[in-house]
């Protein structure tokens, strides 16, 4: 529980610091994607695959936001 809350706080701070708009409705989904990316780096099998898929979603989203 604490780990998930810390992830959310960090994600909000990073988005605010970098000027990336983060609507309240997207916070939970984006936070889960970020955690999956980090977790998947050292993972094997499904952990790795979830991380790759999350990275693709985040890259698509950030390209839409910055264009």
For the cut 80, the answer to whether the pLDDT of residue 2 exceeds it is: yes
61, 30 contact by CB (below 8 A): yes
pTM, rounded to two decimals: 0.81
Rounded Cα distance between 30 and 11, Å, is 8
Mean pLDDT computed over 19-35: 92
Nearby residues of 13 by Cβ (< 8 Å), 6 or more positions away: none
- Pick the more confident residue, 4 or 51: 51
So where are the chain's domains? Answer: 2-66
Rounded Cα distance between 27 and 47, Å, is 21
Nearby residues of 32 by Cβ (< 8 Å), 6 or more positions away: 54
Q: What is the pLDDT of residue 37?
A: 92
Task: Give residue-wise pLDDT tens across range 32-67.
Answer: 998 999 889 888 899 999 999 999 999 999 998 887
Q: What is the pLDDT of residue 4?
A: 86
């Amino acid at each position: 529980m604490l780990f998930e809350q810390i992830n959310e706080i960090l994600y909000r701070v990073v988005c605010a610091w970098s000027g990336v708009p983060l609507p309240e409705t997207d916070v939970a989904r984006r936070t889960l994607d970020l955690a999956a990316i980090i977790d998947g780096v050292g993972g094997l099998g499904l952990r790795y695959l979830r991380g790759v898929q999350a990275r693709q979603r985040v890259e698509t989203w950030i390209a839409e936001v910055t264009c």
